[in-house]
Amino acid sequence: MTLAPSVLAADFGRLEAHAREAIDAGADWLHIDVMDGHFVPNISFGVPVMRGLRALADETDTPFDVHLMIEEPDRYLEDFAEAGASVITVHQEACPHLHRTVQAIHALGCRAGVAVNPATPLVMLEDVLGDLDLVLVMSVNPGFGGQSFIPGSTDKVRRLRQMTSGAQTAGAGRPLIEVDGGVSPDNARALLDAGADVFVAGSAVFRGDVAENVAAFRRAEMRTA
């Protein structure tokens, strides 16, 4: 399980210290949720805030996992790559020329991800799947942290894993499967069994005791099905 805490749920007044708590507790990636108030009905933050976390990411060798919930993401890819993104994920629903956008992300030296909203069928990714490093299954409607997990998302992960089963290994042919929204230690085991690789968690990491919250994800990982 790759655990990617979403800093959207962190205390922005002490963002670096709060993100450090998650990394020190064993988080693998930092998930950066960028919202523009157009593609989603909320505004979060952009490149300058990510730059503020750059020293921490470099010091701890923690990849930035950038999730662009914005219209016309092509306009900003270079900025996020320069700010240190390892993975850049765009939304299928926001990209009329998705293949071109994926190529542009790769040309910047980043791994390319595509996210699908709960109402978007997986078939929309079929012809681009072979070019992707990651597929993000939204398990809430994007725009806000702290929402309830949509139960059908587990089956969507399972179907996506079947779609990608032609390629064997994650990162070497098979795109990583990331799940985002309402993810917690309570549903993590079922999502792992369904085939998810990367777990985005905002509230379940940053609300309360961060170290204990990360440990609860690790315990869920060890649990037998």
Ligand X SMILES: O=C(CO)[C@H](O)[C@H](O)COP(=O)(O)O
The one-letter code for the residue type at 90 is: V
Examine the residue annotation and report whether 33 is marked as an active-site residue of this protein.
yes
Closest separation between CB of residue 178 and ligand X, Å?
10
Examine the residue annotation and report whether 65 is marked as an active-site residue of this protein.
no
Site for ligand X in 46-75 (CB under 6 A): 67, 69
Pick from 46, 113, 181, 185 the residue near ligand X by CB under 6 A: 181
Does residue 154 touch ligand X according to CB under 6 A? no
Strand partners, 88: 66, 112
Does residue 2 touch ligand X according to CB under 6 A? no
203 appears as a binding residue in the annotation: yes
**Is the Cβ of residue 166 or residue 216 nearer to ligand X in the bound state?**
216
Residue nearest to ligand X (CB): 202
Residues 94-101: contacts with CB under 8 Å, at least 24 apart: 94/39, 94/68, 94/69, 94/70, 98/128, 99/127, 99/128, 99/131, 100/74, 101/73, 101/74, 101/77
Cβ pair 26, 213 in contact under 8 A: no
**Nearest C-alpha neighbor of 177 from the set 193, 26, 9, 141:** 193
Pick from 46, 175, 182, 185 the residue near ligand X by CB under 6 A: 182
Q: Which residues are catalytic?
A: 33, 180
Residues engaged in binding ligand X (CB under 6 A): 6, 8-9, 33, 67, 69, 140, 142-147, 180-183, 200-204
